[in-house]
Structures are given as C-alpha cells and as structure tokens.
Amino acid sequence: MIFKVKPVIKLSKVNEVKRLLRRSMLNTVCEESRCPNISECFGERTATFMILGDRCTRGCTFCNVKRKHPVPVDPEEPERLVKAVKALGLEYVVITSVTRDDLPDGGAGHFARCIRALKENIPGIKVEVLIPDFRGSREALEVVLRERPDVLNHNIETVRRLYPEVRVGSNYERSLKVLRISKEIAPNVPTKSALIVGFGETMEELFEAMEDLRRVDCDFLTVGQYYAPSLQHHPVVKFYTPEEFSLIEKRAYEMGFRFVACGPNVRSSYRAFEGWLKAQRS
C-alpha cells in the first residue's frame, strides 16, 4: 500500500475529518501547526493526532502551538483516540504531543496508554510515535518502547548552532541522546527524525546534523522548508530550491538513511506509512 496524492482534494472529505475530530475532542498537529499538507492528508482520511492537550511548555520560535499553562491529562483520551482511528479506517497512525515539562514523566505514561489502547483494540494497527525529549529520561523512553511502537520519531528540527535561537528550552545533544538511547532499548524499532530548513543554517551545517543523526543510527529522515506562521515567529532566512532539496535527499541516502522524504512541504509525518513499509522490505 502506497499513499497517492489525488489531483483534486474534495472539501467534503476534509470537512468530514474536521467534524470527526471536533466530535472526538481530539487535537491534530496538522491544524495546530498550520501544516501545508492538511488538505492532502485530511482528504486521504489521515491525520497526526496530538495528545496531552494543545499547550506547550517550551518556546520554540518557529512553532505555532500555543504556549500557555498546560491542561490536566485527560484519562479518556486513549479511548477517544481508538474510536476516531476506527471511524477513519486508518491502518497506520502517527501520535505526537506538545512538550509537557510540567509532568514528572513528561507524558511518557500517557503515550504508552494510547499505544496500548490502539494495539489492543484495532488488530494489525501500526503506530508511529513522535515524542518530545522527555528531558532525556531513559526511564520515560523505556515506558514508551515497552508498548512496541512501530516507529520511534524524535525531531532535532535544526542545526546545532541555531538551537539557542530556534529551539528555546531544548538541547541538541539531548535530542540526539533520545534517538541513541531508543536504539539501545529497542534496536528493532526504527528511529526517525526531521530537519526544517530556512532558519539561516548553511548546507555544511545541515550535512553535519544529518551525520550526527546517522551516528546515533537514525533510520528515517524528513527535510522540509520553514514557513513562518506569523510575523512574530522566527523569520524565513532562505527558501531552498528544488535542486537543493534533491541534493540533500541524495546526500542523505549516501549517508545510509533507509528512507528519506525531502521537499518544501515535507513535514515529519509526511508519507510516514511509506517509510515504515520500505523499511520492512529492506
């Protein structure tokens, strides 16, 4: 099964997915981050679910997610997630979350409950998790990986030099550590990460970040163009050309990544099922 982009996206399907999400009281990163692929993905009846509320405790300057005091964890969210996935008829689900530094485990236990609920109630479902850094906690990663997600995704987002400017509250080495420890705990679970370009990084810095990901045995990579959500966010310093994206993709495969999605509108969960499927065949 390979996802195909339909030439015309029917608005009725997009609205159908939005109505279902409202009824289920579920958030999606597709809407919260103003993802450029939202019509394509909603039109294909797929979405990246965002658990643990819609308020983040970090201050990334590129992100459109709300930065407010977080809400209490909803114990009924896993059940509603299962119902929504069944209603959409999904076979591959991506779950992400806001960062919850206010929680002792960073939300790892809630991730685990969501994975468990999906796998226990939907036979054959594949679950990819896009996790925050859990402040580098090995124990939190063990809680999530114990439920056997099919892909463990954690985004480094940008190059080392730009972390203090772009990823306020996060740490480059800690994000690499998350991917390294994940492989130590569950070597058979593919790991994945994403880079956003256009913040002012050089091509050399970008390649260095890709090499750092390969050094921690990261399997999948997505690379996409940054679009500023508003004038209050980090400015776009550079728009990459199709030729530059092709060069990045070629270099990534030469480095040994098993699957690469690279292009202006590519985001972390774009073609997620395709990446997992390719890994199974390799």
What structural domains and CATH numbers belong to the chain? 11-281 (3.20.20.70)
Both tokens of 197, joined, read: 């370009």
Both tokens of 16, joined, read: 């159908």
Q: Which of 256, 257, 259 is nearest to 271 (CA)?
A: 259
How far is C-alpha 137 from the chain's CA centre? 19
Tell me the per-residue pLDDT of 200-224, one tens digit each, with 9 for 90 and over.
999 999 999 999 999 999 999 999 9
Residue 48 host element (H or E)? strand 48-51
For residue 111, which amino acid is it? F
The model carries a pTM of 0.88
**What does the alpha-carbon distance between residue 267 and residue 220 come to, in Å, rounded to a whole number?**
12
How far is C-alpha 179 from the chain's CA centre? 13
Handedness of CA 51, 30, 181, 158 (dihedral sign): negative
What is the structure's pLDDT at 26?
77
Q: What percent of the chain has pLDDT over 70?
A: 85
Tell me the per-residue pLDDT of 231-282, one tens digit each, with 9 for 90 and over.
899 999 999 999 999 999 999 999 999 999 999 999 888 778 787 787 777 6
**What does the alpha-carbon distance between residue 102 and residue 22 come to, in Å, rounded to a whole number?**
26
Q: Which residues contact 31 (CB under 8 A, 6 or more apart)?
A: 18, 21, 38
**What does the alpha-carbon distance between residue 48 and residue 17 come to, in Å, rounded to a whole number?**
12
In the sheet that holds 126-130, the strands lie side by side as 27-28, 48-51, 92-97, 126-130, 151-153, 191-197, 220-225, 259-263
